[in-house]
Amino acid sequence: MRLYLAVAVLLLALVAYTEAQDRTMEDHFAQAGERLSEFGRTVVEKSKTALEKFQQSDFAVSTSNFFRNGWQKLKEQVQDLTQ
């Protein structure tokens, strides 16, 4: 019984608190839009940073060099065959 009474009191307090605020729905949605925009900017910035860090990693550099050297060797072999 006490639990039901406590929940009811908490709900009444929540309703009173929300009614006491003088924010309109328009303000609420504008603020939500701003938060979403900031979240998007943060995600983009973190993604760019992670991609740059990956591109400069030893694994990415060595893999790039491996494929670049392999491509160069293949081009040289094709040129030798065509001459």
Give residue-wise pLDDT tens across range 12-63.
Answer: 787 777 765 656 777 777 888 889 999 999 999 999 999 999 999 999 999 9
Q: Please state, in angstroms and rounded to a whole number, the distance separating the CA atoms of residues 61 and 55.
A: 7
Q: Please state, in angstroms and rounded to a whole number, the distance separating the CA atoms of residues 11 and 20.
A: 14
Higher pLDDT, 71 or 19: 71
Tokens representing residue 19 in the block: 């009614």
Whole-model pTM: value is: 0.49
Given pLDDT bands bounded at 50, 70 and 90, which one contains residue 1? Answer: low
Q: Please state, in angstroms and rounded to a whole number, the distance separating the CA atoms of residues 25 and 31.
A: 10
Q: Please state, in angstroms and rounded to a whole number, the distance separating the CA atoms of residues 26 and 17.
A: 18
What pLDDT score was predicted for residue 21?
62
